[in-house]
Amino acid sequence: MAAREALEQPNFFLGALAVGFGAAVICVIVPCLVASMLFRGGALVHLLGIVFVDQKGVPASRWRVTARNLIAWLPLALVPASMYVLEILPFIAGPVLVLAAVVSLLLPDRGLPDRLAGTWPVPR
């Protein structure tokens, strides 16, 4: 019942969506980027025993790992831009997700952010 009322009030719905996005940026994306600059990857990378190396096999620089994380989080940057075109968002997001899934299937050893940033995830 409350969800239906929220959807009937577009300003309330868009405000809640903006607050949720802002919370995700502050609580997830910013700490991830800061950790990549300070620790070359962050807590999850260290917990999983992964290190990012460059093409020579030496640990990738902090800037390269940060660039990799920026590329990985880039699709979320499109969310505020798409707020103005909510009517056509499903027609854009659907094919983009299908394309991302196909690219992931074709490149199983390295993800797209790794290829664009020039990093390789390897066991520690």
- Average pLDDT over every residue of 22-36: 87
Alpha helices in the chain (DSSP H): 2-8, 10-24, 30-39, 43-47, 62-82, 89-106, 112-117
pLDDT of residue 81 exceeding 70: no
Which of 96 and 56 is assigned the larger pLDDT?
56
Sequence letter at residue 89: L
Q: Model's pTM, two decimal places?
A: 0.73
Query: How far is 45 from 49, CA to CA, in rounded Å?
Result: 6
* pLDDT tier at 59, thresholds 50, 70, 90: very high
Cβ-count burial of 4 within 10 angstroms (0-12 exposed, 13-18 middle, 19+ buried)? exposed
